[in-house]
């Protein structure tokens, strides 16, 4: 039974783990296996990333270079672009991107490319796990037939499972090792062995009855966030129209000890997960003649937030008898959330785009992002790239409007309040005290 063989190998720390795709998800995961004494090999298409890892240099903030170089030095971790080495792995975990096409339909081409490589060297005794977020059915309907067409049989020759990733980049409290892992296999044996593998690196593993359930659970988690953030954003727009402080309303509601969970408004949603994942679910729903209306509504409200932020800037300048055309607008933060270096789907890009389209002179400061480009499908425009400016006194004084888009911790907000003229705060970064002493006029979302 390959189940028993693999189980023993994993328990003995003799199993070799392959991680395909070494990004925000794959690199911390491979590092965690290596830390627990299971030899891990990362498979990358990007030679530069593979080389950096083999030099012990991390490009992901949540993984320390010192830790990486220690693991590489002890031959517990290495990276390669040679996919023929997959044959030497006992467990293979796929962590490649799952973006959307321009039509907002799932693009699983990266999963297919990774699976094609795995299929070439699939051999008896291997466990394959998909971690990339995807629609329910991908593991059983897409991967399983591909692997079986290599002439191997599920359970007899290989095992197959889905286990969603829940990593929260930049969150020091929850890391790969202390976030419970959901696991669902294509068969019971697959679930059992995949759960056994993850039990080596995480404290809690929750097994479910199928890969489909695990795939759907991940989409529920992220759709839940998208819908609730949409609700908070709608509330913010309503409060703005009514002249009520949204943040105070949420703080008050959050004192209820049951039946309420606080979600906060912002300039829009970003990152590789929350804006994308619900579309994987609604696409699958449509195939079954089902219209997932909550998802559509949340998308409509959330994607309207950058325009609302521009409206706040516009209103603020108008009160100063200034036009948006020719105004100097300085954005604080362009990353999609605080203290991380990721601009994928960041609402900041859409805000910059809209401000520039209205003739504003836009600059930005972000300690984590030295440059933003507009030619990589983030936005409609193909505008000139922008480089982060230093946050000098002059820069703050000369801005007609400062927009806090990301509330990075390292920024001196007291100085921003003292030197700025007009501030649009989309994150409630300026606590009451700061606002009271501010020379600047502050407009909050």
Ligand X SMILES: NC(=O)c1ccc[n+]([C@@H]2O[C@H](COP(=O)([O-])OP(=O)(O)OC[C@H]3O[C@@H](n4cnc5c(N)ncnc54)[C@H](O)[C@@H]3O)[C@@H](O)[C@H]2O)c1
Q: At its nearest, how many Å lie between ligand X and the CB of residue 99?
A: 8
| Contact call for residue 308 and ligand X (CB under 6 A) | no
* 297 belongs to the binding site for ligand X (CB under 6 A): no
272 binds ligand X (CB under 6 A): yes
Picking from 363, 264, 423, 445, the residue whose alpha carbon sits closest to that of residue 434 is 423
Helix (H) or strand (E) holding 130: strand 126-130
Q: What angle do CA 219, 224, 225 make, to 5 degrees?
A: 105
In DSSP notation, 60-124 reads: STTS-HHHHHHHHHTTSEEEES-GGGGGG-SEEEE-----B-TTS-B--HHHHHHHHHHHHH--T
Helices 188-199 and 2-11 sit at what angle, rounded to 10 degrees?
A: 10
At residue 175, the 3 state secondary structure works out as: coil
If the CB atoms of residues 346 and 428 are measured against ligand X, the closer one turns out to be 346
Q: How far is the CB of 31 from ligand X (least distance, A)?
A: 13
For ligand X, the binding residue among 113, 253, 254, 389 (CB under 6 A) is 113
Q: Which of 89, 95, 273, 417 is catalytic?
A: 273
* Part in contact with ligand X (CB under 6 A); list of ranges 68-76, 94-102, 351-359, 376-384: 94-102
| C-alpha distances out from residue 428 to 4, 195, 246, Å | 54, 41, 10
Place of tokens 């969603």: 164
DSSP letter (8 states) at residue 384 = P
Give residues 136-165 in contact with ligand X (rule: CB under 6 A): 165
Nearest residue (CB) to ligand X, 62 versus 353: 62
Tell whether residue 128 is a contact of ligand X (CB under 6 A): no
Among the listed ranges 109-117, 208-216, 329-337, 388-396, the one in contact with ligand X (CB under 6 A) is 109-117
The reply on whether position 268 binds ligand X by CB under 6 A is no
Asked if residue 425 binds ligand X (CB under 6 A), the reply is: no
Q: How far does CA 303 lie from the centroid of its chain?
A: 17
Out of 17, 25, 301, 405, the only residue in the binding site for ligand X (CB under 6 A) is 25
Q: How far is CA 362 from CA 126, 355, 356, 415, 423, in A?
A: 53, 7, 7, 20, 14
CB 45 → ligand X: shortest distance, Å? Answer: 4
The least CB distance from residue 114 to ligand X, in Å, is 4
Question: Would residue 417 show up in a list of annotated catalytic residues for this protein?
Answer: no
Nearer to ligand X by Cβ, of 278 and 420: the residue is: 278
Residue 22 binds ligand X, judged by CB under 6 A: yes
Q: Is 252 exposed, middle or buried (0-12, 13-18, 19+ CB in 10 A)?
A: exposed
DSSP, collapsed to helix, strand or coil, labels residue 209 as coil
Total binding residues for ligand X by CB under 6 A?
Answer: 27
Residue 388 Cβ vs ligand X, minimum distance, rounded to whole Å: 21
Q: Which position among 30, 53, 93, 97 is part of the footprint of ligand X (CB under 6 A)?
A: 97
Tokens of 330: 């300085």
The residue (of 280 and 314) whose beta carbon lies closer to ligand X is 280
DSSP conformational letter for 411: S
For residue 272, the minimal CB distance to ligand X (Å) is: 5
Please report whether residue 45 would count as binding ligand X according to CB under 6 A.
Answer: yes
Least spacing, CB of residue 275 vs ligand X, in Å = 11
Residue 18: which H helix or E strand, with range?
strand 17-20
**Residue from the set 3, 9, 17, 24 that interacts with ligand X by CB under 6 A:** 24
Query: Residue 63 or residue 424: which is nearer to ligand X going by CB?
Result: 63
The residues, ordered by sequence, that sit 6+ positions from 273 with a Cβ below 8 Å of its Cβ are 133, 222
Q: How many CA atoms lie within 13 A of 67 on its CB side?
A: 16
Q: Does 110 bind ligand X (CB under 6 A)?
A: yes
**Which listed residue (31, 41, 58, 98) binds ligand X by CB under 6 A?**
98
Q: Which residues bind to ligand X, rule: CB under 6 A?
A: 20-26, 43-46, 49, 95-98, 110, 113-114, 132-133, 165-167, 169, 272-273
Catalytic positions, written as ranges = 273
């Amino acid at each position: 039974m390959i189940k028993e063989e693999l189980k023993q190998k994993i328990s003995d720390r003799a199993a070799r783990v392959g991680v395909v795709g070494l990004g925000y998800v794959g690199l911390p995961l491979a590092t965690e296996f290596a830390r627990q004494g299971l030899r891990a090999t990362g498979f990358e298409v990007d030679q530069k990333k593979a080389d950096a890892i083999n030099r012990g240099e991390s490009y992901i903030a949540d993984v320390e270079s010192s830790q990486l170089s220690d693991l590489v030095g002890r031959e517990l971790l290495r990276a390669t672009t040679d996919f023929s080495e997959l044959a030497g792995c006992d467990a293979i975990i796929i962590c490649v991107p799952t973006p959307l096409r321009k039509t907002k339909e799932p693009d699983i081409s990266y999963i297919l490319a990774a699976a094609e490589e795995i299929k070439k060297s699939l051999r008896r005794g291997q466990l394959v796990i998909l971690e990339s977020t995807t629609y329910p059915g991908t593991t059983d309907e897409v991967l399983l037939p591909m692997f079986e067409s290599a002439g191997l049989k599920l359970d007899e020759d290989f095992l197959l499972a889905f286990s969603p990733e829940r990593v929260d980049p930049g969150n020091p409290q929850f890391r790969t090792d202390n976030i419970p892992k959901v696991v669902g296999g294509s068969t019971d044996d697959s679930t059992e062995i995949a759960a056994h593998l993850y039990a080596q690196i995480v404290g809690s593993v929750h097994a479910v009855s199928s890969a489909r359930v695990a795939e759907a659970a991940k989409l529920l988690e992220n759709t839940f966030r998208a819908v609730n953030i949409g609700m908070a954003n709608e509330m913010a727009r309503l409060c703005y129209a009514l002249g009520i402080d949204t943040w105070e309303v949420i703080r008050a509601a959050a004192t209820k000890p049951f039946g309420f969970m606080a979600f906060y408004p912002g300039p829009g949603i970003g990152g590789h997960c929350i804006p994308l994942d619900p579309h994987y679910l609604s696409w699958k729903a449509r195939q079954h003649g089902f219209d997932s209306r909550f998802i559509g509504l949340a998308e409509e409200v959330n994607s309207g937030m950058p325009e609302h932020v521009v409206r706040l800037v516009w209103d603020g300048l108008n009160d100063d008898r200034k036009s948006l055309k020719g105004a100097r607008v300085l954005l604080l933060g362009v990353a999609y959330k605080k203290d991380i270096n990721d601009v994928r789907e960041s609402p900041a890009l859409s805000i910059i785009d809209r401000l520039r389209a209205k003739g504003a002179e836009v600059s930005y400061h972000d300690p984590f992002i030295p440059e933003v480009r507009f030619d990589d499908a983030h936005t409609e425009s193909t505008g000139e790239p922008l480089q982060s400016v230093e946050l000098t006194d002059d820069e703050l004084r000369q801005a007609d409007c400062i927009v806090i888009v990301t509330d990075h911790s390292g920024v001196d907000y007291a100085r921003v309040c003292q030197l700025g003229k007009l501030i649009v705060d989309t994150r409630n970064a300026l606590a009451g005290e700061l606002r009271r002493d501010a020379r600047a006029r502050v407009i909050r979302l």
